[in-house]
């Protein structure tokens, strides 16, 4: 038996732990089937977000010519704002009712939000605000992430936890891979696409991904209704709770521990998670406009190329999750977290512009400038049908800030993707271990809300700073934030330990 228990440490990430006493029991099989449904739910949640993220900026420009890069920040933030509001609500709901209820409700809202997004072209005015509202509804439905994380945390033993959280993050990363990949594949439809007259739907490279995300949502609802069952285990993997929601008093055989949770560790974990998500939200928001400014890509080129890059980052993340599982067993969760932050710092530092090569200025923005005297009317007339490319002349920093090289851009993407993957899984793992065996729905709701708050503020921050001051200021400030996160983690390093380990220290 001791050999079986010890071998748990060597269990591969992508294989469920089958070494516990109830491995052949029906409850064990049902528990892992339900956990896999949660993996799939997390996967679809990330697909629903990333499947439109690389085309969001050109879609805005096409639907409403008055949309600016600053407004793009608000649209990206709308998703996260909706998720921030919904996460604690769904988390609280899941603590007192079967998780099936908040999951089905949230997925249905997400589905409707994607359909709304696809029909944002129908109104005759203010289309950009309809896109913003649609993304807010999609984000509100994504508040079920708190329920997913709390379920997996409560349905796994302490030894299973890191692998389960890493697997969940791997599914999330796979969603990040397939989302942009599906968007890139659907780009063959073009900006005009086809019109499905009987439902008045314009199916093109911008709306087709949203419709596909809605179809995925329908599949997810069916899986939750047909497969998901309630399970909760202790730190050793033994079932500790039998729930009867139809009973007035509810049958509960779990004895909640009297020890209190370390609130300083909880607060610090939320702050660190906020900072990690804030930094990555900035990265994913600025990728498309930044690449269009630096490399003079067209809207379609930006969608395809950034989609390919995001796919590669997703594959990289899966490899990182496999490495993290092994590394955390050898050196612990906290050192891996610190290394991840250091790698993110290196990624953003790499993005800082240098040299004497400057970006191309959009010719369309020179018409009202004194430089127009140097351009013949015939030249402007011959180019009037072309899509303007390059750095907008209104962004004054374009005139004196060097353009980055494509090698810098790709290297930074690799480093940021690697560091974020490590920090992401360590954030969830450490947090769930700090909370211990108590129901984690509300606490996970607050963690998700803090991440959503970061996704709300990050795009707004970077769209304003980037538009007005340029990439040097934007990326320098981010490097300062990462340094602050490293200092904070180091200062509370000794308190970020598992609930049971803290209790043992208290007893000793």
Secondary structure (DSSP) of 8-43: GGG--TTS----STTTTSHHHHHHHHHHHHHHHHHH
Cβ(63)–Cβ(120) below 8 Å? yes
18-27, 35-44, 84-93, 440-449, range with the lowest pLDDT: 18-27
pTM above 0.85, yes or no: no
The SS3 call for residue 506 is: helix
Apex CA 232: angle with CA 231 and CA 236, to 5°?
130
Write phi, then psi, for 244 (nearest 5 degrees).
Answer: -125, 95
Taking 90 as the threshold, does the pLDDT of residue 254 lie above it?
Answer: no
Q: Residue 128 domain-assigned? A: yes
Q: Residue 203 domain-assigned? A: yes
Residue 430 CA to residue 435 CA, distance in Å, equals 9
Band (272; pLDDT cuts 50, 70, 90): very high
Q: Residue 206 domain-assigned? A: yes
Band (236; pLDDT cuts 50, 70, 90): low
Taking 60 as the threshold, does the pLDDT of residue 300 lie above it?
Answer: yes
10-19, 259-268, 312-321, range with the lowest pLDDT: 10-19
Residue 93 structure tokens:
């709901």
Residue 349 CA to residue 361 CA, distance in Å, equals 25
| Distances in whole angstroms, Cα of residue 132 to Cα of each of 22, 51, 138, 191, 251 | 48, 16, 10, 20, 44
Q: What percent of the chain has pLDDT over 70?
A: 81
Residue 424 CA to residue 277 CA, distance in Å, equals 8
Q: Collect all residues with Cβ–Cβ distance below 8 Å to 308 and sequence separation of at least 6.
A: 180, 181, 184
Identify the helix (H) or strand (E) that includes residue 456: helix 441-469
Return the pLDDT at 232.
Answer: 76
Give the structural domain span for 497.
24-360+393-507
pLDDT in tens, 108-139: 999 999 999 988 888 877 888 999 999 999 98
Cβ(117)–Cβ(134) below 8 Å? yes
Question: Taking Cα atoms as reference points, which of 287, 324, 234 lies closest to residue 409?
Answer: 287
Number of domains, the chain: 1
Taking 70 as the threshold, does the pLDDT of residue 250 lie above it?
Answer: no
Band (345; pLDDT cuts 50, 70, 90): very high
Write phi, then psi, for 507 (nearest 5 degrees).
Answer: -65, -45
Return the pLDDT at 111.
Answer: 92
Average pLDDT for the chain: 78
Question: Taking Cα atoms as reference points, which of 141, 89, 85, 101 lies closest to residue 117?
Answer: 141
pLDDT in tens, 140-190: 998 888 888 888 877 887 777 777 877 887 787 677 767 777 887 887 887
DSSP 350-416: HTS--SS--PPBPGGGGTTSGGGGGS-HHHHHHTTTSPP-SB-TTSGGGGTSPPPPHHHHHHHHHHH
Residue given tokens 């607060």 in the structure block: 267
Q: Residue 239 domain-assigned? A: yes
Question: Taking Cα atoms as reference points, which of 229, 222, 226, 257 lies closest to residue 243?
Answer: 229
Q: What is the CATH number of the domain that holds 123?
A: 1.20.1250.20
End-to-end CA distance of the chain: 28
Cβ(466)–Cβ(401) below 8 Å? no
Return the pLDDT at 114.
Answer: 92
Q: Residue 192 domain-assigned? A: yes
- Cα 467 to chain center, whole Å? 23
Q: Residue 92 domain-assigned? A: yes
pLDDT in tens, 351-362: 888 877 788 877
Q: Residue 86 domain-assigned? A: yes
Band (252; pLDDT cuts 50, 70, 90): very low
**Beta strand extents in 204-242 (DSSP E only):** none
Beta-bridged to residue 333, according to DSSP, are none
Residue 107 structure tokens:
């997925």
Return the pLDDT at 107.
Answer: 92
Sign of CA dihedral 269, 274, 275, 280: positive
Band (237; pLDDT cuts 50, 70, 90): low
Per-residue DSSP letter, 239: B
Question: Taking Cα atoms as reference points, which of 459, 485, 486, 454 lies closest to residue 474?
Answer: 459
Identify the helix (H) or strand (E) that includes residue 201: strand 201-203
Residue 384 structure tokens:
């009037």
Average pLDDT over residues 191-205: 82
Q: Residue 107 domain-assigned? A: yes
Cβ(63)–Cβ(311) below 8 Å? no
Taking 60 as the threshold, does the pLDDT of residue 13 lie above it?
Answer: no
């Amino acid at each position: 038996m001791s050999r079986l228990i010890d071998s748990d440490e060597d269990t591969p990430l992508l294989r469920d732990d089958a070494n516990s006493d109830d491995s052949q029991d029906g409850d064990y099989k049902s528990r892992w089937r339900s956990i896999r449904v949660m993996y799939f739910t997390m996967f679809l949640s990330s697909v629903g977000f990333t499947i439109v993220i690389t085309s969001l900026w050109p879609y805005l420009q096409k639907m409403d010519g008055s949309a600016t890069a600053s407004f793009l920040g608000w649209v990206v933030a709308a998703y996260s704002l909706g998720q921030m509001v919904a996460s604690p609500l769904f988390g609280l709901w899941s603590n007192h009712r079967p998780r099936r209820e908040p999951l089905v409700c949230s997925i249905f809202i997400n589905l409707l939000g994607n359909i709304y997004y696809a029909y944002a072209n129908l109104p005759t005015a203010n289309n950009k605000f309809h896109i913003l509202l649609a993304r807010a509804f999609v984000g509100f439905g994504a508040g079920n992430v708190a329920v997913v994380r709390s379920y997996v945390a409560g349905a796994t033993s302490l030894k299973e936890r890191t692998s389960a959280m890493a697997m969940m993050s791997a599914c999330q990363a796979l969603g990040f891979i397939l989302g942009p990949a599906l968007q890139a594949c659907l780009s063959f439809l073009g900006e005009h696409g086809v019109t499905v007259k009987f439902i008045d739907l314009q199916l093109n490279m911008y709306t087709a991904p949203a419709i596909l995300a809605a179809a995925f949502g329908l599949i997810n609802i069916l899986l939750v209704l047909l497969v998901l069952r309630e399970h909760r285990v202790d730190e050793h993997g033994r079932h500790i709770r039998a729930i009867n929601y139809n009973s007035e008093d509810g049958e509960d055989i779990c004895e909640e521990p009297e020890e209190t949770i370390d609130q300083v560790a909880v607060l610090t974990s939320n702050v660190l998670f906020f900072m990690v998500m804030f930094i990555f939200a900035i990265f994913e928001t600025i990728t498309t406009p930044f690449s269009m400014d630096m490399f003079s890509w067209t809207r379609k080129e930006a969608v395809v190329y950034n989609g390919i890059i995001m796919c590669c980052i997703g594959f990289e993340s899966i490899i990182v999750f496999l490495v993290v599982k092994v590394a955390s067993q050898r050196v612990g969760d906290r050192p891996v977290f610190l290394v991840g932050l250091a790698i993110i710092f290196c990624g953003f530092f790499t993005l800082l512009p240098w040299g004497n090569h400057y970006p191309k200025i959009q010719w369309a923005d020179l018409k009202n400038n004194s430089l127009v005297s140097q351009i013949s009317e015939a030249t402007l007339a011959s180019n009037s049908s072309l899509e303007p490319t390059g750095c907008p002349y209104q962004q004054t920093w374009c005139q004196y800030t060097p353009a980055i090289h494509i090698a810098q851009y790709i290297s930074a993407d690799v480093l940021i993707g690697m560091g974020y993957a490590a920090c992401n899984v360590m954030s969830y793992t450490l947090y769930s271990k700090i909370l211990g065996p108590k129901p984690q729905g509300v606490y996970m709701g607050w963690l998700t809300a803090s991440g959503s708050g970061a996704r709300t503020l990050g795009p707004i921050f970077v769209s304003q700073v980037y538009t007005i001051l340029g990439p040097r200021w934007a990326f320098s400030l981010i490097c300062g934030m990462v340094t602050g996160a490293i200092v904070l983690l180091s200062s509370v390093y000794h308190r970020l330990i598992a609930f049971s380990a803290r209790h043992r220290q208290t007893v000793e």
